[in-house]
Amino acid sequence: MKSAHLDILFGGFMLALLALVWWVIIPVGIMVPKSIDTAALSPDLWPKIIVLIASISSVFMLLKAWRDVRQPERDSKPDDEVYYPMLQAVGRVAAVPLGILAVYYAMWISGIVASCIILLALLIRLAGERRWWLIALNAVVLPMLLYGFFTYLANVPLPLGLFEQLR
Amino acid sequence: MLENLNDALSIVLSVENFIVIFIGVLIGTIIGAIPGMTTPMGVALALPFTFTMHPVTGILLLLGIYKGGLYGGSITAILLKAPGTPAASCTVLDGFPLAQQGQTRKALEMALYASVFADFMSNLALILLTGTLASFALRFGPPEYFTLIVFSLTVIAGVAGDHLAKGIIAACLGLFLATIGLDTIYGTSRMLFDNYELMSGLNFIPVLIGLFALPEIFNFYAKSKTTVIKAGTLSQVGVTYADFKRCFKSIFRGSLIGVVLGAIPGIGGAPAAFLSYSEARRNSPNKDNFGKGELEGVAAAEAGNNGVAGATMIPLLALGVPGDVITAVILGAFMIHGLRPGPIMFTNNLDIIYAIFIGIMVSSAYLFIIGKFSIRAIAKIADIPNRFLYPSVVILCIFGAYAVNNSSFDILIMAIMGGVGYVMLRLGVPAAPFLIAFILGPMLEDNFRQSLILSDGTYSIFFRNAICWVFWSLTFTSLALLVRSNLQAKSQS
C-alpha cells in the first residue's frame, strides 16, 4: 500500500477519533463547575484547543495525502529487512503486549518474578532460540537478578504472589 | 559562589558518584553500540533505577548513558555498517569504507578523539552560557513561558519526522494525554471515568518506556531476518598525531556546530552530524575522497554528533524546557526528585547545578577511558543475539514500569503505549514530539491559564512584550521554513 494511502487512512481515523473526543469524551469525561465566570478558565478549554489544532493538522495531512496519491510513488531504497507474511507478523507482534498483559493479570497470583520467567522463556522461544536449556537459563537469571536488585538494593517491594512465604 | 562550589564538590566528590558516572557512560556506550537499541530506550530503562539515588547521582547516571550512547553508535557504524544511533548514520559514510580498507582501529580511534573533544567543548558551553540565559529567563512570566514552549514544540514537531502535520498530531496527542487527571485550578476530574488510578494522571515513565522501548521490540518480532554486514578484524595501526592535526579544524568546526544546534530545542545529534560532515567536505582539500574512506569525514561526523550532548542541557537548566527526548527524560528525573530546572533553580539549588557541571566533566574523561580501552569488548557485546536481547528488554521494561509507583496499573499503561508507539512507528508518526509534549503539557497549560487569570481572560496578554513577539515570530518563521522545505523536497522529487 502506498504511503499516501496509509496517510489518508490515518488522517481519516484521526478526524473520526477527534470528533469522538470533542462530542463524547470531553463532555462526558470532564466535569465543568457551574460557577465559572471566565470561559477561558474552564477545565475543558485546553483539551478543546488541542483537539482543534490536531483536527486542522489532520485535514492538512489528508489534503496532502490526497494530492500525493495521484502521483507515482518515488522509488524508495529497498529495505534490507524481510518481514513475515501479514497474519504471521501480526500474531508475532501481538504476542508481546498480550504477554505483558498476562503478566499484569498473573503477577498478583504467581508473583512478578515467576510470571516474568515464563514470559521471558516464551519470548526467547518465539524469537527463534531452540535450545531449551539455554532458554531456561536465560529466563531464570534475569528476573532473579532484577528481583535481587529491586528488593535488596533499591528497597522496592515486589509482589511474589504464591511465593510470598518464601521471602 | 565559593560556598555553592564547596557544597557542589561535597555532593559530587564521592566514590558512589564516580562509580555511577562510569557505569552510566559504559552502559550508554554498549547500548549505543547495539543496533536496534536506542539511547532514549536505555535512558528510559535506567530511570526507575535512579529513584533511590541522590538527584545529582541519578541525573549524572542518565547523562552518562546519553553521552556514551552518542559515541557508542559509531562503533557498529564503523564495524558493521549498522549505526547504533540515528546520529551515527553519518559516521557510516566514511567509517565503514575505512574499516573495509583495513583501517578499523584508525577509524574507531578518530571517532573517539573527535567525540571526546566535542563533548568537552559542549560541556564548556553548558557551563559558560547556562547562567547567563537563566538570569535572562528571570524576566519570563507565564505568557513568555507559554510562547517559548509553543516555539519549542513547533520546532520539535517539525524536525522530528518527515511530515510536519504528523509531528503536530503527535504533539497534540501527547498534550491531550497530559490533561488526564485532576484539573489544577478547580480540582475537578478530567477523563478519569471512575478510575481512581488516573487521578494523578498518567505517569510519564510507563509512557516513555512504552513509546520508546517496546515498538522496536515489536518490530523485531515482525521481521523474519535482518541483514548484517561484517567488516574485517581490528587493525593495529591507530591515529597518529599527524592524522589528528589534519582533522583538527573539522573537529573544532563540528564541535561548534554541535553546540549551536544542540542548544536549539528539537534539533538533536543527527542534523548536527550531517551539517558538520557537509561543511568538512566543502572545506577539505580531499573532498573527492569523502564517502570512500576519508578520516576527516569520520572526525567531522562524530564531532557534530557529540557536540550536542552538553548543549542540549542549556535550555533545560536555564529555561526548564527540554531540547530533545533525553533531556525531557532528565527533566522528568529532576521532577521525580522534587526539583524544577529553570532560573529559580539557579537561585535555590545552585550547588546542585554546579555539582552537575563537575560531574559532566568527569563523564567526558570516562568517555575517553572507556572508548580507549574497551572497543574490542564492546564490539563483542554488540554480537549478543537479538533473540536473547530483546526479550530481556521486555522484562526490564516490566520491572521498571512497576517500580515507579509499585503499581501494576503502570504495566498496563506501558503495554498500551507500546501498542500506540508501534502503530506510530509503522505510520511514520514521530514519537519524540508526543513524549516532549506529554512532559511539557502540564507546564504549557498552567502558563496558559495563569496568563488568562492575570489578564481576566483577555488573550492579548500573549503579545504583551518583545519577548512574546520574538517567540511568536520564531514560531511562525520556523513553520514557514518547514513548509517551504517540504514543498521544495516535493518539487525536486
CA atoms within 13 A on the CB side of B51: 18
CB B68 within 8 A of CB B116: no
**B472 touches B146 (CB < 8 A):** no
Does residue A78 belong to any structural domain of this protein?
no
Q: What CA–CA distances, in Å, run from B433 to A58, B152, B178, B201, B337?
A: 16, 10, 13, 19, 24
Residue B422 has, within 13 A of its CA and on its CB side, a CA count of 22
Q: What is the rounded CA–CA span in Å between residue B429 and residue B168?
A: 9
Q: How far is B438 from chain A (nearest CA, A)?
A: 12
CB contact, 8 Å: A65 with chain B?
Answer: no
**Could you list the mean pLDDT of each consecutive 10-residue stretch along chain A, which spans 167 residues?**
80 93 92 76 90 94 83 55 79 92 92 94 93 93 90 82 70
Q: Return the H-helix or E-strand segment holding B223.
A: strand B223-225
Tell me the pLDDT tens digit for each residue of B50-94. 888 888 899 999 999 988 988 888 887 888 776 767 778 788 888
Predicted confidence (pLDDT) per residue in B268-307, tens digit = 677 788 888 888 888 888 888 888 889 999 999 999 988 9
Note whether B146 contacts A: Cβ–Cβ < 8 A.
no
B259-271 pLDDT tens trace: 988 887 766 677 7
Of A41, A74, A108, the CB nearest to B453: A41
Report how many domains make up chain B: 1
Q: Looking at beta carbons, which residues of chain B come within 8 Å of A40?
A: 449, 452, 457, 459
For residues A148 and A113, membership in a common domain is answered with: yes
Residue listed under C-alpha cell 469524551: A25
pLDDT at A165: 66
Is the domain of A15 the same as that of A49?
A: yes
Distance from CA of A97 to the nearest CA of B (A): 6
For residue B165, which residues of chain A lie inside 8 Å, CB to CB?
57-58, 60-61, 64
Whether B395 and A120 lie within 8 Å, measured CB to CB: yes
Long-range interactions of B137-141: CB distance < 8 A, separation 24+: B137/B318, B137/B319, B137/B342, B137/B343, B138/B343, B139/B467, B140/B319, B140/B343, B140/B467, B141/B451, B141/B454
pLDDT number for residue B463: 93
The per-residue pLDDT for B413 is: 94
- Using a CB-CB cut-off of 8 Å, the residues of chain B touching A73 are none
Please state, in angstroms and rounded to a whole number, the distance separating the CA atoms of residues B52 and B48: 9
For residue B124, being part of any structural domain is answered with: yes
Q: Please compute the mean of the pLDDT values over residues B417-434 and round it to a whole number.
A: 88
Residue ranges making up the domain that contains A149: 86-166
Q: Please, what is the average pLDDT of chain B?
A: 84
Q: Looking at the domain assignment, is residue B493 inside a domain? A: no
The percentage of chain A sitting over the pLDDT mark of 70, rounded to a whole number, equals 89
CB B119 within 8 A of CB B67: yes
Q: Which residues 2-31 of chain A have a CB within 8 Å of chain B?
A: 3, 6-7, 10, 14, 21, 25, 29-31
Of A3, A82, A150, the CB nearest to B225: A82
CA distance B457 to chain A (A): 6
Nearest CA-CA partner of B88 in B102, B106, B68: B68
Q: How many CB atoms lie within 10 A of CB B290?
A: 19
Q: Could you give the CA distance from residue B453 to residue A49 in angstroms, rounded to a whole number?
A: 17
Three-state DSSP class for residue A30? strand
d(CA A24, CA B50): 40
Residue B483 lies in a domain: yes
Residue A79 within a domain: no
CB atoms within 10 A of CB B260: 16
Whether A139 is in a domain gets the answer yes
A101 in the same domain as A46: no
Q: How confident is the model at residue B493 (pLDDT cuts 50, 70, 90)?
A: low
Q: Does the residue B85 lie in any domain?
A: yes
Q: Do B226 and A80 touch (CB under 8 A)?
A: yes
Q: How far is B176 from chain A (nearest CA, A)?
A: 6
Tell me which chain B residues have a C-beta less than 8 angstroms from the C-beta of A153: 52
pLDDT band at B122 (very low <50, low <70, confident <90, very high): very high
Cell of B434: 508526543
Amino acid at position B83, single letter: P
Rounded distance between C-alpha atoms, residue B303 and residue B299, angstroms: 6
**What's the confidence (pLDDT) of residue B213?**
81
Distance CA B431, CA B325 (A): 9
Euclidean distance between CA atoms B309 and B360, whole angstroms: 10
Which pLDDT belongs to residue A112?
93
Residue B201, in any domain of the structure: yes
pLDDT in tens, B362-393: 999 999 999 888 777 766 766 678 888 889 98
Give the per-residue pLDDT at A4.
81
The count of structural domains within chain A is: 2
In a domain, A73, yes or no: no
For residue B59, tell me if it sits in a domain: yes
CA distance A33 to chain B (A): 8
HEC assignment per residue over A76-129: CCCCCCEECCHHHHHHHHHHHHHHHHHHHHHHHHHCHHHHHHHHHHHHHHHCCC
What DSSP character marks residue A75?
P
- What's the CA gap between B328 and B435, in Å, rounded? 8
CB contact under 8 A, B175 and A142: no
Closest residue in A to B404 (Cα–Cα): A156
- Which has more confidence, B361 or A74? B361
Domain-embedded: residue A112: yes
How many alpha carbons fall within 13 Å on the CB side of residue A31? Answer: 14
Instruction: Find, among B421, B403, B405, B434, the residue nearest to B203 by Cα.
Output: B405
Which pLDDT score is estimated for B180? 93
Cβ of A102 under 8 Å from any chain B Cβ? no
Which residues constitute the domain of residue B88? 2-487
Which range has highest mean pLDDT (B31-40, B210-219, B249-258, B483-492)?
A: B249-258
Mean per-residue pLDDT, B434-454? 88
Helix (H) or strand (E) holding B190, with range, is strand B189-190
Check CB contact of B410 with chain A, cutoff 8 Å: no
Looking at the domain assignment, is residue A55 inside a domain? yes
Asked if the structure places residue B342 within a domain, the reply is yes
Cβ atoms of B276 and B88 closer than 8 Å = no
Contact B395 A146 (CB under 8 A): yes
C-beta atoms of B188 and A30 within 8 A: yes
Residue of A6, A33, A153 lying closest to B186 (CB–CB): A33
Decide: B291 and B347 in contact? Cβ < 8 Å: no
Cα distance between residue B81 and residue B331, in whole Å: 33
Element (H, E) at B314: helix B313-319
pTM to 2 decimal places:
0.80
Given an 8 Å threshold on Cβ–Cβ distance, is B218 in contact with A93?
A: yes
- What residues does A30 pair with on adjacent strands? B190
